[in-house]
Structure 1
Amino acid sequence: MPVEAVVAIDLEKERAEILKRYRKLLRSAKPFLQNDDAKNIKRAFMMSAEAHKEMRRKSGEPYIYHPIAVAQICVDEIGLGPTAIVAALLHDVVEDTEIELSDIEKVFGKKVAQIIDGLTKISGTFEYGTSQQAENFRKMLLTLSEDIRVILIKLADRLHNMRTLSSMAKDKQLKIASETLYLYAPLAHRLGLHAIKTELEDLGLKYTEPEVYKEIARKLSDNKRSRESFVEHFIKPIKKDLDEKKYKYSIKGRPKSIYSIYNKIKSSNTSFENIFDLFAVRIVLNAPREREKAECWEVYSIVTDHYKPNPDRLKDWVSTPKSNGYESLHTTVMSKPYASEKTGRWVEVQIRSHRMDEIAEKGVAAHWKYKGNDTRTNDTFESWLSQVREALENTDKGKSAVELVDEIKNSLYNEEVFVFTPKGKLIVLQAGATALDFAFDIHSEVGARCIGAKVGGKLVPLSHKLQNGDQIEILTSAKQKPSEDWLRLVVTTKAKTRIKDFIKEENKSHVVHGRDLIEHRLKIMGIPHLTLEITNQLRAYYNAKDANDLFYRFGKGYIQVDQLKHWKADREMHERKQAEKVIQLPITDGKTFTKEIKKLHGERKDADALLIGEDMDKVDYTLAKCCNPISGDDVFGFVTINEGIKIHRTKCPNATELMSRHGDRVIKAQWASQIQMSFTVNLLISGIDRAGLVHDVTRVISSELKVNIMGLNIGVNDGLFEGKITLMVHDTDHLDLLVQQLEQVSGVVEVSRGE
């Protein structure tokens, strides 16, 4: 059969599949449609299909599948209406095709154009050392106060990209998954999109820690039958009582997400087998609005009649909803022993109404659906939105996009504390908030003049951590003013921003003085101008957060100006070494480096990757000290501002942040297999102490495996020992062999790699 005929048949199939997906979208949207909505959706579909007709995704599928899928997620999984569907169908056309924003505004109006503008990445070049991802995230957040649908569509877009990430190259998978875990999953959490947040976290883990993900998924699958059997046994008496009392309800047990189990394993430093609350039981009541709260507590009473609750684990978000609108009653109860078990196990039980369940799954979109009915959820959610707006409004005061993203991110995952003013007004702050946070939440001037507080009539310091139910009175003095120490006493974005603003005003003179000192000394040293490049070099050399921090430290005298001679000497030595390299600095981003390394490697396979070991005489790179990569580790390169390229492990504690904030400076890197190298690695070892243990451990390392020990530190407490061994290995295979041998030593319980 001729090739042309095959292509024609495939294209026909694709056209049929595109229409099938479009019609499914229309069916799902039908309940929301009014007036000209269906026509507008059709126009948007036709414009998108035409604009993307020559484009394909990495999987080889027609590109139009993606916008249709994003629109489908907006309808089915978030509950958005016609305007969002139109915007979702068109969300990539301005960025990827010839169509301009003005064209969209002419056809679909200002609102749709505004949403698409918020979804379109910023193009052009960025100042050296800034973060393109952070700038794009800031642009998207700026639309939050105008139209929250921008972020909801972006989350739908990110969810579909994560679901189809398997067709991307491994380095792209890592970059996108890291950004998802760092920014988008916390954002979905804050917007109350529980189902989307959970899936984004699980998919993020699938690509950042594939082995861990597979292992937990396998274990969950292996014990699925016994888990279902246990849940059935657990809910049987509860169902009997609910049926007798004629409640309308649904009840089910669901496993905790792979990511939450992974986090629990990490935070508790335990194994999968030692985690008992692997699932939660959810009871959803079909209760009328006015009876919801009462029925939730009645069902709580039924559950605790059968199982003893843990009083410390009762969470009442029915009386006081979370700031993302989440309402539910959570309790953790002890089950009775089941089957061959000798003891019961802790089980989390969630009790909520159908309305609360919809808000819990679909978040802010469902919250808006019920907006008129509940001022409590409105007030708390609006409180968080106002904090975000405030942080965004302060971006014109010299705050970088990276700082802004960090501040917003820090407010996304936090639990909350509910406290009251002397007049009984409820204030919701993030958990860990202090009396000083409370003072700044009342008013900036109250915070700036705060000298202490009274909680329940008792005097407490600024650092006092607030507890649920505290009633707080703030004490002020006209003589008080904020200091840098205050930044350690607060956790909320609002308080930190206000304190920094006060300090910046105070410190302006030190910054100016410091800059003058540096410029004057550089001229004496023969460097006529303090350029941006030199400022960045000094900032990196003295480990300053930004240029102002650098100038301030010199202006305050924390760094003496004669120290600049050491910087100059080190700089000259670095430049001599750099002059010998084939690829010259400064390289400012990953794309530029990739072009250069391809030229260097020619037609070789993986020509776009830095070869560690082989390229040392051609490229300025070092192994990062934060994670100490060794041969065999999965690694990536990161283009720093002044210190060449740093090689990090993909499991480095800083990897997620680097890839999220500066993904444009990440490059491919791999080990040169033929080069024999030695690497320093830290091993953490623990177990039960006995006579001769240290001798046996060192014998295995030095005598049997011929490994050089660089450092050994073992401490004993109550018959248990913990230690850290620093040694030299060749690669991960060598390290794995060493760990296996050490685990055979009598008394050793656990051996793991440290940072």
Structure 2
Amino acid sequence: KAELEDLCFYYLDPEMYEKIKNAIAQRREEQERFIREVKEILERELTKAGIKAYIKGRPKHLYSIYRKVISKDIPVDQLHDVIGFRVIVDSVRECYETLGIVHSIWKQVPGRFKDYISLPKENMYQSLHTTVIGPYGQKMEIQIRTWEMDRIAEEGIAAHWKYKEGKGIKENDEKIFSWLRQIIEESQQHLSDSREFLENIKMNLNLFPEEVYVFTPKGEVKSFPKGATPVDFAYSIHSDIGDRCVAAKVDGRLVPLDYELKSGSVVEIITSPKQHPSKDWLTFVKTPRARSKIRQWLRRHERERSISLGKEMLEKAISQEHIRLSNKEEILASIAADMSLRSVEDLYAQIGIGSISANQVIGRIKQKLHIKESPLKLVTKLVDKLRKKKTETKGIKIKGLDDIVVHLAKCCYPIPGDPVIGFITRGKGITIHRYDCKSIKDADPIRLIDVTWESTEDETYPARLMVLSVNKMGMLADISAAIAKKEANIISANVDSTADNKGIAFFTVEVKNLDHLNEVIRSIKRIKDIISAKRI
């Protein structure tokens, strides 16, 4: 890692590379004297304690020094924290004894101690790291580890087995195998995308050292990159848990999915069978596994939606043309092959995403069936199109566009009365969002389109509610009755409790418009022991 970083540093910023290299070279004698002095002190004190140790000291690699210069915003010649020491001993017990001796000789720098022995990194790296104020008030980092830990750190995981041939597989080995399998499986999913593949490998190999450690409810320790969220935690357990997570409890407190996990917390995931991954999750997850699984789900379901939409569009076009196909699958398979597509599903998908129009396929069907249209039929079709009703848009009016597929966004659940905007979505036509929806906050303005609500009769729309209440028997029944009283239908409900024993419930209800929804919310708020009720 250090070698690669220094090599990249040399090519990316050769001027700074030479500046740091020369600054280190000018202080070589001073550094060598400092290293000898520290080694003599350590060897003397460790010998007194009966610990046989190998001590190595050297300046840190150039890119590491460069990062300190940048983070501390100081000139190279004023940076003194450039020397690191490694102490290698025979056993784990001696590692901790050595740590105690180091801290008895020199004062520890607060917040700079890391125990990677009791909590190894996922790649099984183990060592004790501490920073102390050494001779002449100079900071120095000391790493303490056993010989085997040093071999793994220097030579990689393969070194672990090189010295253990014939001794069988232990629990620690199983963890390593599991980690390696995970890297292989996840990396294979990105072979078609070189940048994503590289990102996946880099993160899996822990090239980003800052980590947080959290616990499962059963006490199992899990490590994540700094900034990881409950979604990362959920996917580390199982992809199904990740796909269905709706919230999490951290130390018994309910938190949102983008909450940043802190070391030492106990994390519990709350799931719902109605939940599924969102593109928004990709903006805050940190682990390659979570990112990979989310993208995998989105690709799979985007294809399913495209196939369904394409099939619907083609069948509608066939019906409008009054074409009878007794051997539809055979003809469509032939057309797919003619267009260099592998299957009829691929043909549907291409129609769904707009790469192929339904009319193109209709034209090929007519060629296969040797159908010719009369001039009268062409005129009739044109008149029918001009008279076409706009009932398919479910209450949405789009300026200048009559015949287009419209969907209501499931991220914000817009309903009549909400200010709305349309987003042109590949494979779905136009998706209607609430104007303040976070999903379109950074959307390409070119893909946004003005839309308005039209008056509709007997039409209902889904809306989501969150209700917080005193946790008592019968509360769910009271809330359901209040919703029913306002003639709103409950589509789904997910109920849980918070750390302070309050009831929390998430509802998806069907309402006619914004006024109707507000009536439902007011009805819920009238119930005794309701703390809050709001739309989400």
Fold-level match, TM-score > 0.5? yes
Q: Deviations over 1:133-184 (max 9, x none)?
A: xxxxxxxxxxxxxxxxxxxxxxxxxxxxxxxxxxxxxxxxxxxxxxxxxxxx
Partner of 1:253: 57
AA partner of residue 148 (structure 2): R
Distance in 2 separating the partners of 1:562 and 1:468 = 41
Structure 1 pair 217–552 and aligned structure 2 pair: CA distance change class (3 A): farther
Distance in 2 separating the partners of 1:559 and 1:207 = 36
Q: Describe the SS at the equivalent of 1:313.
A: coil
Distance in 2 separating the partners of 1:374 and 1:496 = 31
Compare the two structures and name the one with the higher helix fraction: 1
Q: What are the equivalent positions in structure 2 for 1:460-609 lying under 5 Å apart?
A: 460-508=255-303, 509=305, 517=354, 551=426, 556=431
Partner of 2:246: 451
Structure 1 pair 458–226 and aligned structure 2 pair: CA distance change class (3 A): same
Structure 1 pair 210–513 and aligned structure 2 pair: CA distance change class (3 A): same
Distance in 1 separating the partners of 2:32 and 2:214 = 40
Structure 1 pair 427–559 and aligned structure 2 pair: CA distance change class (3 A): closer
Distance in 1 separating the partners of 2:25 and 2:290 = 46
- State which drifts further: 472-481 or 435-444: 472-481
Distance in 1 separating the partners of 2:5 and 2:157 = 19
Larger-gyration structure (1/2): 2
Distance in 2 separating the partners of 1:222 and 1:429 = 40
Structure 1 pair 391–555 and aligned structure 2 pair: CA distance change class (3 A): farther
Distance in 2 separating the partners of 1:313 and 1:300 = 13
Q: RMSD value over aligned CA atoms?
A: 3.4
- CA drift of 1:491 comes to 1.1
**Correspondence 1:218 to 2:22:** yes
Q: What are the equivalent positions in structure 2 for 1:314-333 lying under 5 Å apart?
A: 314-333=113-132
Distance in 2 separating the partners of 1:516 and 1:239 = 70
**Correspondence 1:302 to 2:101:** yes
Distance in 1 separating the partners of 2:114 and 2:74 = 25
Q: Deviations over 1:26-58 (max 9, x none)?
A: xxxxxxxxxxxxxxxxxxxxxxxxxxxxxxxxx
Out of 236, 240, 244, the position equivalent to 1:441 is: 236
Distance in 2 separating the partners of 1:462 and 1:477 = 13
Structure 1 pair 395–272 and aligned structure 2 pair: CA distance change class (3 A): closer
Structure 1 pair 232–481 and aligned structure 2 pair: CA distance change class (3 A): same
**Correspondence 1:355 to 2:155:** no
CA contact (8 A) 1:510 1:556 kept: no
Q: Describe the SS at the equivalent of 1:311.
A: coil
- CA drift of 1:320 comes to 2.2
Distance in 2 separating the partners of 1:517 and 1:375 = 54
Distance in 2 separating the partners of 1:373 and 1:319 = 23
- Which consecutive unaligned segments of at least 5 residues does structure 1 have? 1-196, 339-343, 524-548, 564-755
Distance in 2 separating the partners of 1:440 and 1:304 = 39
Out of 207, 214, 224, the position equivalent to 1:419 is: 214
CA contact (8 A) 2:215 2:221 kept: yes
Distance in 2 separating the partners of 1:300 and 1:270 = 30
Distance in 2 separating the partners of 1:560 and 1:243 = 71
CA contact (8 A) 2:131 2:139 kept: yes
Q: What are the equivalent positions in structure 2 for 1:128-167 lying under 5 Å apart?
A: none
Distance in 1 separating the partners of 2:227 and 2:353 = 40
AA partner of residue 22 (structure 2): R
CA contact (8 A) 2:352 2:428 kept: no
Partner of 1:276: 80
CA contact (8 A) 1:521 1:561 kept: no
Q: Describe the SS at the equivalent of 1:409.
A: helix
CA contact (8 A) 1:282 1:350 kept: yes
- CA drift of 1:246 comes to 2.4
- CA drift of 1:333 comes to 0.6
Distance in 1 separating the partners of 2:446 and 2:428 = 10
Distance in 1 separating the partners of 2:49 and 2:445 = 78
Partner of 1:229: 33
Out of 388, 393, 409, the position equivalent to 2:183 is: 388
Compare the two structures and name the one with the higher strand fraction: 2
Distance in 2 separating the partners of 1:349 and 1:389 = 33
Q: What are the equivalent positions in structure 2 for 1:655-694 lying under 5 Å apart?
A: none
Distance in 2 separating the partners of 1:392 and 1:501 = 12
Q: Describe the SS at the equivalent of 2:286.
A: coil
Q: Deviations over 1:500-549 (max 9, x none)?
A: 222234433369588765766999xxxxxxxxxxxxxxxxxxxxxxxxx9
Distance in 2 separating the partners of 1:433 and 1:463 = 8
Q: Describe the SS at the equivalent of 2:111.
A: helix
Partner of 2:110: 311
Distance in 2 separating the partners of 1:235 and 1:498 = 49
Distance in 2 separating the partners of 1:275 and 1:387 = 40
CA contact (8 A) 1:513 1:555 kept: no
Aligned residue pair count: 330
- CA drift of 1:317 comes to 1.2
Out of 365, 370, 387, the position equivalent to 2:158 is: 365
Distance in 2 separating the partners of 1:381 and 1:275 = 38
Q: Deviations over 1:178-197 (max 9, x none)?
A: xxxxxxxxxxxxxxxxxxx3
CA contact (8 A) 1:514 1:556 kept: no
- CA drift of 1:395 comes to 4.5
AA partner of residue 186 (structure 2): A
Highest relative contact order (Cα 8 Å, sep 6+), 1 or 2? Answer: 1
Structure 1 pair 316–479 and aligned structure 2 pair: CA distance change class (3 A): same
Distance in 2 separating the partners of 1:455 and 1:296 = 33
AA partner of residue 423 (structure 1): K
- CA drift of 1:449 comes to 1.4
- CA drift of 1:272 comes to 1.2
CA contact (8 A) 2:23 2:77 kept: no
AA partner of residue 52 (structure 2): K
Distance in 2 separating the partners of 1:215 and 1:433 = 36
AA partner of residue 156 (structure 2): G
